[in-house]
Amino acid sequence: MRLADPLALHRSACALVRGTQPTMRAMLEALPIPRTFLVGGLSPDVVDRAGLVAAGVEVVTVPHAGHCLMFDNPRAYAAAIAGGSGGFPGSGGVLGSGAGAGDAAAETPSGAVGAAA
């Protein structure tokens, strides 16, 4: 923040307070293409997850990840963006146990990305 231009920071803060119309969620729900919403397993659950699913949005939980999915569990994040729930039948929108940046990972028999044994 201390390296940010003060005017740009002010504009960004004002835009955050104003919000967007329509909301980002409404725009996501209305898109006529396949959509996947990623949420970290360590984050609070998505507000009205059932509503997103009803709108045709696949909601995928990335395990062992908080707000910064790509840093907290890069392998599971990569699997999620490569194919939603990883294309694993019966995954129920939850990827395998995942592995952190320094952990070894392997594909489990179910196909989910999990910690190597």
* pLDDT of 73: 95
Q: Give the angle subtended at the CA of 71 by the CAs of 29 and 86, to the nearest 5°.
A: 50
Structure tokens at 95: 């990827």
Task: Quickly list DSSP for 61-98.
Answer: EETT--S-HHHH-HHHHHHHHHHTTTT-TT-TTB--S-
The answer to whether 101 and 112 are in contact (CB under 8 A) is: no
Q: Going residue by residue through the chain (117 aa), what tens digit of pLDDT does each one get? A: 567 788 988 988 898 888 888 988 999 999 999 999 999 999 998 999 999 999 999 999 999 999 999 999 999 999 998 885 444 444 455 555 444 434 434 333 333 444 333
Tokens describing residue 81:
């963006």
